[in-house]
Amino acid sequence: MRDTVRMPSPIAAYRPAVRVPMSGRILIVEDDCEIADFVVRGLREEGFTVDLAADGDAGWEQLSNFDWDVVLLDWWLPGTDGLTLLRRFRKGNRTTPVLFLTARDAVSDRVTGLNGGADDYLCKPFAFEELLARVRAMARRQDRLATSISWGDVKVDLATRRAERAGHRLNLTAREEALLMFMMRHPGEVLTRSRLYEEVWDDSYDGLSNTLEVHVMELRKKLEICGPRLIHTLRNRGYCFGEELR
């Protein structure tokens, strides 16, 4: 048996009345291309960094090698099934919130999923608004539990606001730190000037100010004292943190 339920409406039909910007890394393990595309695009529009694994083996590789803020997991998958993945994940003492997405809606299935280590359970078909609300709630809980954020050899302690790279302290201003933290939460993405102004400065970009460029330049200098370049300028597009986009 496999989950073959299709979403009742395209993502274009979803338009929130008030957008609440969020950040966080989400892994979706889902083999149904239509559902996966629907969810990936919707969550990215809401500001999340989203990665997709289309089968159980690819899902396990992502789960075991990377840190995530929330995991959305299908039950029936090619290769290793979702329940087996979840149980194996929890045996490693991993506490990342996991939401099951499945057409299995019997009470006994829900109990099995929750007892297997799931934090929440959502049956297909579902409304994107409900999925988004549950993901946001799980991400907020995870944020409250997190003590630091890291990417590669860069780490920021959320309690002390101490930033370091390769063990060396980075003497950042408050704005540089906020800029670094936002970029670390969105590695590999094209970060436009407008988005950075909205998220870090809580302001709109007028197209004339060079405030952002100055802060990026200073942050880049401080990071590069301890290692190779992490903030890349994308001509006519903005910036990218991590590996340079081609």
Co-location of 61 and 131 in the same domain: yes
Give pLDDT tens digits for 181-220: 889 888 888 899 998 988 888 777 676 778 999 999 999 9
Cα separation of 151 and 187, whole Å?
8
- Whether residues 117 and 219 share a domain: the answer is no
What is the CATH number for 27? 3.40.50.2300
On whether both 69 and 177 belong to a single domain, the answer is no
Q: What is the DSSP letter of 69?
A: S
Distance, CA of 116 to CA of 126 (rounded, Å) = 22
Q: Which tokens go with 170?
A: 């980075």
pLDDT reported for residue 131: 94
Give the mean pLDDT of 46-74: 89
pLDDT digits (tens, 9 = 90+) for 101-117: 988 888 888 899 898 89
What pLDDT does 21 receive? 40
pLDDT at position 12 over 60: no
Which range among 54-68, 78-92, 190-204 shows the weakest confidence by mean pLDDT? 190-204
Q: Which two tokens stand for residue 161?
A: 């606001």
121 and 216 both lie in a single domain = no
Q: Could you give the 3-state DSSP secondary structure of residue 39?
A: helix
Which positions ≥6 away from 13 have C-beta within 8 Å? Answer: none
The overall average pLDDT reported for the chain is: 84
CATH code where residue 231 lies: 1.10.10.10
33 with 130, same domain: the answer is: yes
Give domain status of residue 130, yes or no.
Answer: yes
Residue 16 belongs to a domain: yes
Residue 58, pLDDT score: 94
Instruction: Say whether both 132 and 164 belong to one domain.
Output: no
The confidence score (pLDDT) of residue 106 equals 84
For residues 185 and 163, give the distance between their C-alpha atoms in angstroms, rounded to a whole number.
14
**Tokens at 128, concatenated:** 């994107």
Tell me the backbone φ, ψ of residue 202, rounded to 5 degrees.
55, 45
In the chain, what percentage of residues exceed pLDDT 70?
86
Tell me what the mean pLDDT of segment 55-68 comes to: 89
What SS3 class is residue 96? coil
Residues 120 and 93 in one domain: yes
Q: Cis peptide leading into 125, omega within 30 of 0? A: yes
Q: Please check whether residues 132 and 190 belong to one and the same domain.
A: no
Write the CA distances from 198 to 57, 71, 194, 204, integer angstroms. Answer: 38, 27, 6, 6
Residue 44 in domain: yes
Q: What is the pLDDT of residue 20?
A: 37
At which of 114, 145, 176 does a domain end?
145
2 within domain boundaries: no
Do 38 and 78 lie in a common domain?
Answer: yes
- Domain membership of residue 130 as a residue range: 11-145
Task: For residue 100, give both structure tokens.
Answer: 């099951």
Burial class (CB in 10 A: 0-12, 13-18, 19+), 221: exposed
* pLDDT score for 161: 84
- Of 145, 176, 207, the position where a domain reaches its end is 145
For position 138, what pLDDT does the model report?
87
Q: Please determine, for residue 170, whether its predicted confidence score (pLDDT) is greater than 70.
A: yes
Looking at 145, 162, 180, which one is the last position of a domain? 145
Quick check: is 202 in a domain? yes
Q: Are residues 128 and 59 in the same domain?
A: yes
Question: pLDDT over 90 for what percent of the chain?
Answer: 48
Residues 162 and 135 in one domain: no
Assess whether pLDDT exceeds 50 at residue 164: yes
pLDDT, position 120 = 92
Tokens for 152?
């590669």
Whether 22 and 133 map to the same domain: the answer is yes
Per the structure, the count of domains in the chain is 2
